[in-house]
Structures are given as structure tokens and as C-alpha cells.
Structure 1
Amino acid sequence: MREIKLFAQIDLTLLLSMLGLIVFGLMAIYSASHGVGVMGNYYKQLVWFGLSFFLLIIIFYMPPRIFQDYAYWIYGLSITGLVLVLLLGRKVGGATSWIDIGFARIQPSEFTKYSTILALARFLSERTTNIKTLRHFTTAIGIAVFPVILVLLQPDTGTALTYLTFIVPMIVIAGFDFYIIVLMAIPFVFALVGFINLYALVVLGFVMMGFLILMRKEAIFLSIGALAIGVMFGVFSSFYGKSILQPHQLKRIETFLDPMSDPKGAGYNALQAKVAIGSGGLWGKGFLEGTQTQLRFIPAQWTDFIFCVIGEEFGFIGSTVLLTTFLIFITRLVMLIHIIKNEFAALVISGIVSVFFGHILVNIGMTIGLMPIVGVPLPFLSYGGSSLLANMVAVAIVLNFYRNRRDLAL
């Protein structure tokens, strides 16, 4: 009876899908490390998994109110970690994102993502907060953006971008008007599209006009005004955007649009990733049989480009199984937003699922050429103790909310 009661407390769908993703990751890291004789990566990841799972069990049995009551303290501690990185951090891959603590090397920015979600969720769920007022809106944005500034100073643009994924879902759930967010985003979107293609800017203008009218027919003049500003930004970006960017930034964009423009330089990673995934075919070359993986044609093959290992060695079928597991994982998190009847918990889960979805979209997108290459790991698969520990802690918090869902609904 006690075992039955325990299983009723655990969200098995979420837990098992997460463990399935971790198994995929351990297999891919083993293969990527095996081919070049750096098996230490695999063994370290196993140790981090054991530590993370132990911490998951502890968090699972914590009182659920602790996350809300101490959200600001956790946030402050994480901010302190980011500041210490800037002062005492170790530079790896061009970014000072790491700090050595005894036997381990920690990346504080991985943990700060989720501590920021906790702090923002507490602020938005307080009875005195009205997100529709300018003061509370700017406060919420400040909570979310402050750690982004510290991460950009490292500099780590890829990680900083992942912080921005949870802001919109959380403030919309808290009651902010999504129409206003769309209007605020128009100048940035039009500037990006105008930089890439001026003709696409015209098409986007007409499409966006129809979309805005459907959203808010009575605010047509406001929509036209926002579109006019967006078009100005887009035209300016089209003619003068290249002169504003730094040479290395411009090179990254050009190779994203056309990797063959520099196949042995900036476009090398993107081209090799496509070769690896495409060569896997339907069934894949087999575990430990991937030539691109074993001969190390792909840089960072056990971190940012881990999906290439799956695509080459397990093929389309294996990649589909992996993506299906991700879909189950993400779908379950979205369902829990509605199942757990607590505003703070719903806001936290919405932030967590947004971070996971953003990582998955960007990481897999960059390996198949749909996104520019940035340093964003694939959750539960990419090698990295900080990333695995932070992600499992996030899932542990959700599992804790599910276990205490009846108490949280009171």
C-alpha cells in the first residue's frame, strides 16, 4: 500500500521521460568520448547524474512553500554567483562563465535561469502586484533582465538569450496584455527581417497587419502606428545594419545564411553537423559506428552538437524517438500548469517549460541549419554537470509541486 501511495505522488510521465532523455545523452556522450579517447567526460557525467538524482529526491520531499518563501534569497545568491564569476571566473571557450569550487567547475548562469524564474514568479503572484501598471511591469522586467546583463558581460550571448524565453509566457499568465507585447516586439522583428531581406520585410508588413487586426480590431490606428515604426526600423536595418555590427558578428550572420561562403572557417561547424545528421539515413550507422563522431569531424560533439551523434548513429528513427520523448516531456509540463491549481506554481512551471523549449528549439535548430550557431546545450543530453544539475533541480521542483498539488490548491 505504501508503494502504491508513493507512485500516486510521483508524476511518472514527467520523471520517466526525463530519465529517457538522460539515457539518450549518456549513450551519445559515451560514443562521442569513446572515439577520441576522452572517456573522462562520460564518467564525470555519470557522477553528476548521481549527484543530481540525489538532490532531486531531497527537493521532492521539501515543503512546497519553501520555494516561494525563499525565492528572493535564492535569486540574490545566484546573482552573487554571477558577480563572483566576473571577478574570479575562469575563461573557457572565450567566455568567463565558470568558477572552480574545490573539485568541481560550476557555471552559475545555468542555475540563475531557474532562480530568476522563482523570483519573478513570486513577484507576479503577490496580491499587491498588478502587472498592468507601468511600475510593476518595469519591476518584473528588471528582475528578469538584470542577470541577463551580467551574463552578457562574461560574455555568453547564447546563455543570455535563453533567459529571455520565459519573460513573455510568465507575464502573460500573470495578466499582461499579449497584444501590447506584440506591438513592443514589432520594431525588433522588422529590424531583423529587414537586415536579411528587404522584400521579406514587405511581405511581413502585410501579414502582421492582418494579424494585428484580428487580435484587436478596435485598435487599428495603434496597430498602423506600430507597423510604421517597425517598417522604419526594418528599412534602416536593411541599409545601415551591416555598418553597425562588428566584423565577427556580421560574419556569423553571413555564414548562417550561407555556410558555403566560408566552408573551412565560420561555416565549418554548420556544414559538418548537416553531413553527420544526413549520413545517418533511416536507421543510422549504429552505436559507436558514426564516422563523423568517431573521427571527431564535429567540434564540441559532446556538448552543443550532441544531436549530431544521435542523428548519425541512430538515424531518422532514433532522432524521431528522441524528439517524441522531448514532446512528451514538454507536453506534460504544459499540462501541469493547468493541473496544479496554484498561481505561483503555474508561473514557475511556465517559466521552466519555456526555458526547456527554447533550448531544444535553438540547439536542434542550429544543428540542422535553421538557427545560427550559439552556445546553447541540449537539455539532459549535452555534456555538462552544471546544466544537468540545474535542469534536474528544475524538474524536481515541478515534481514537488505535483506531489503537493492538493495542499497548493487550498
Structure 2
Amino acid sequence: MATLAVDSNILKRKNSIWTLIKGTDFVTMLTALSASIYGLMLVYSASYSSLSGGRVISSDVRSMLVSIIIGFVISIAVSNIDYDVISKLWPIIAAGCVGLMIFTFFFGVAPESRPDSKCWIDLKVFYFQPSELLKVGFIISFSYHLDLVRDKINKLKTIIPLVIHGAIPVGLVLLTGDAGSALIFLIMFIGMLFLSRVNIGYFIAGFCAIFVGFAVAWKAGIIDGIQRQRIVALFYPEQYADAMYQQTNGKIAMGSGGLFGQGFLHGNMTQSGAVPVNESDMVLTVAGEEFGFVGTMAALLILFFLVLRVIKIAMNARDNVGYLMCGGIAVMLFAQILVNVGMELSLLPCIGITLPLFSAGGSSSLCIYLALGIEYSVYRFSRAPRETLFYTK
């Protein structure tokens, strides 16, 4: 009898776990986990030569591993909550994200190389970047806003509040000195407006405004210092060799890998530390040098498949909010891939944007899994709403 009771308890626990994961988008989940595992290998290699004192893994690998595990658990929990409920909690979510950004402005910390960029909060255990959480909060709140005005989306009195909504996160991250994240928010804003079928005329006017604003900021010296140098260096690399050092060495490392690479932990430039910040911003150079062209393309194909999968879930969503949420997640991922790869190929200035799920950075991985949890929720509730724990009509 005792044995039967124990077996019954085990069966109940298994059933409860199955209830949590049943109906989850396993294709997206496995794709994301594949990217994270590959990313852990690259970050481990990038930090391998710096290990000392008998350490097995670096702090970057440890924080990345912890964030993946926590993020995965959170994504499963979020997937069991109806995304419609999540969208209606936007005021609380937005207030929390904005509050964290304001806190960062006053009490944030910055790397030694960029004392003007106070983008992180020191949690003692690890550093957290609130702008990553703000991306998820923006997707939720902006999706709800766009859905609310979908029947009058092309009226000027509708567009103006939407522009103000989009300008808030851009302004908040700029105040902390994080120009890279500001660019990602701008792309997300434009992309989500496009998904909402806003008239093309507004986009033309917006691009003109951005161009004029950039020209004024450049002329007035608002864009100054290292940011200005990195932009100019793209056109005159020989004259700004110091500013292009990271990107130049990164391209050499990728090119030296050939078709199949020099082998895991055997990349000459990776192991010598010749490419600065190759555990995060320049992580693709590790793939290129140690796994070659094949390894680089494998990383990019995994990410693009993930983006396409999220887009597919968006197209099959049961309503407009689900469509916009998944669309926003896809745009966020695509924007970060585009900017990071552009940086590593010297097509864009180096502005500190990580490659999603591949780069070191606990905040980024954790918040991407949180966003994917929302995608899982859209998938689950659009297909079998009554098979979830927290179903609400």
C-alpha cells in the first residue's frame, strides 16, 4: 500500500509538470535552447584563456547559464497565463519598467570604458540592464495601444499619441547613455507600426524627421566623443584605426576561420584576446574563427529560423493583440540580429548590441526568454485555450 501511495504521488507530480508544458510551442522552445547552448560554447571559448586559480568557468558563462535556466522556467510559467490578461496588465508593467529606468538614471553603474553610460543596476550577484526588460514591457503596452486604436490607426490624432508612446522608451534609454538600445527601440516602434498597417506616408514623414534630427544633433555636437568617432571611422577606417580596432580584428578573426574553423578553444585571436568584448558584442567572431563559415551560418540560421517561427505564430494568433505581441517580439529579435551583425562586419558603428541568446549577458537572455514566454502563451491559447492552468474567458 505504501508503494502504491508513493507511486501515486510521483504520478501526480509528473501530471502537474506535464500540465505546465502541455501545449507549449516546442519548436520555438527547442530552437531557443539550441541557440543558448551554442552561445554558451562560444562564450566559454571567448573567456577560456582568462580562467585562472583553478576556475572551471568564467563569471560570464556562469551568469549566462543561470539566466537561461531562470528564463526558461519563467517562460513556461508565463506561457500558462492568457496573453490577453498580460496585455491588460500593461499599466502595471509599464510603470514598473519606467520606474526601473528612472532608478538606473540616478543609481545605475557604468563600465570603466564608458563612464557616461549608466545602463546597469548592480544586484551584487550580477548586473541587470533594465532596458532589456523595458523592451518586453514596450511590446506589451504598445501592442495593447495599437489594438485599441486599430479602427482609426491612420488618423493624425491617433498617430501623435503613438509617436509619444514610442518616444518614451527611446528617451529613457538615451538618458542613461545607451544609444544602441535606443536604436533597437526605434526599429521596434517602426516595425510594429508597419505590422499595424499604418499609411506609408507617415513612414516617409518619420524617416525625414529622423534624418533632419540626426543632422541637427551632428551639427550641434550632441553626437560627440567616441560615438561620433565610430560613425566617421566607418567611412575613413585608416584615419581612425584605434576606433576601428575591435571591428577590424573581429573581421580578421572571422576570415581566418575559413570554411570549418580552427577548432573549439583553438582560435588564435579568440584565445589571445585580440578581439575585445568577443564574449558579447563580437561573439560571432568566435564562431567564425573556431567553427568557420559553416559555424557562423549555423548560428545565423538558428536565429533567423527563430524569427520566422515567431512570425508564423503571429500570423496564426487568435486576435490582433496576439498578432502584435508576437510581431513585436520578432521585430525585436530581428533588429538585434541586424545591428549586431552589421557591427561585426563594420557596416554599422559599434554600439554595444548583443546577438540574441548567443552573447554573454544575463539580462538579455533572461528577458528574451520572458518575451518567448508570451509567444508560447499566444501559441497555446490560440490553439487549445482550455488545456492551460490559468485560462480566463
- What TM-score do you get using the length of structure 2 for normalisation? 0.86
The one-letter amino acid paired with 2:41 is M
| CA deviation after TM superposition for structure 1 residue 271, in Å | 0.7
- Measured against aligned partners, the alpha-carbon deviations of 1:196-245 in whole angstroms (never above 9, x if no partner) come to xxxxxxxxxxxxxxxxxxxxxxxxxxxxxxxxxxxxx8xx99xx959785
Matches within 5 A, 1:7-406: 9-37=23-51, 39-92=58-111, 93-94=114-115, 95-101=117-123, 103-126=125-148, 130-186=152-208, 188=210, 241=219, 246=224, 248-263=226-241, 265-406=242-383
1:379 match: secondary structure: coil
Of structures 1 and 2, the one with the larger relative CO (CA 8 A, separation 6+) is 2
| CA deviation after TM superposition for structure 1 residue 386, in Å | 0.7
The one-letter amino acid paired with 1:16 is L
Distance 1:247 1:60, change over 3 A: closer
Distance 1:154 1:112, change over 3 A: same
1:165 match: secondary structure: helix
2:42–2:287 CA contact under 8 A, matched in 1: yes
C-alpha separation between the residues in 1 aligned to 2:127 and 2:222? 36
C-alpha separation between the residues in 2 aligned to 1:43 and 1:250? 35
* Aligned pairs, number: 365
| CA deviation after TM superposition for structure 1 residue 247, in Å | 5.2
- Between the two proteins, what is the percent identity of the paired residues? 28
The one-letter amino acid paired with 1:254 is V
| CA deviation after TM superposition for structure 1 residue 74, in Å | 0.1
2:119 match: secondary structure: strand
C-alpha separation between the residues in 2 aligned to 1:330 and 1:369? 23
| CA deviation after TM superposition for structure 1 residue 22, in Å | 0.4
2:20–2:80 CA contact under 8 A, matched in 1: no
Once structures 1 and 2 are overlaid, which stretch shifts more, 248-257 or 315-324?
248-257
The one-letter amino acid paired with 2:318 is K
2:153 match: secondary structure: coil
C-alpha separation between the residues in 1 aligned to 2:136 and 2:306? 18
2:82–2:378 CA contact under 8 A, matched in 1: no
* 5+ residue gaps, structure 2: 1-14, 52-56, 386-392
C-alpha separation between the residues in 2 aligned to 1:407 and 1:395? 18
Q: Which residue of 2 aligns with 1:219?
A: none
| CA deviation after TM superposition for structure 1 residue 99, in Å | 1.2
C-alpha separation between the residues in 1 aligned to 2:222 and 2:85? 47
1:259–1:268 CA contact under 8 A, matched in 2: no
| CA deviation after TM superposition for structure 1 residue 258, in Å | 3.1
2:21–2:76 CA contact under 8 A, matched in 1: no
1:403 match: secondary structure: helix
1:242–1:250 CA contact under 8 A, matched in 2: no
C-alpha separation between the residues in 1 aligned to 2:77 and 2:50? 37
Distance 1:191 1:45, change over 3 A: closer
C-alpha separation between the residues in 2 aligned to 1:379 and 1:106? 16
2:333–2:356 CA contact under 8 A, matched in 1: yes
| CA deviation after TM superposition for structure 1 residue 48, in Å | 1.5
| CA deviation after TM superposition for structure 1 residue 4, in Å | 9.7
1:21–1:380 CA contact under 8 A, matched in 2: yes
Provide the alpha-carbon RMSD of the alignment: 2.7
Q: Which residue of 1 aligns with 2:5?
A: none
C-alpha separation between the residues in 2 aligned to 1:10 and 1:142? 35
Once structures 1 and 2 are overlaid, which stretch shifts more, 119-128 or 349-358?
119-128
2:23–2:384 CA contact under 8 A, matched in 1: no
The one-letter amino acid paired with 1:333 is V
Distance 1:388 1:317, change over 3 A: same
| CA deviation after TM superposition for structure 1 residue 127, in Å | 5.8
* 5+ residue gaps, structure 1: 193-232
The one-letter amino acid paired with 1:262 is Y
C-alpha separation between the residues in 1 aligned to 2:210 and 2:70? 42
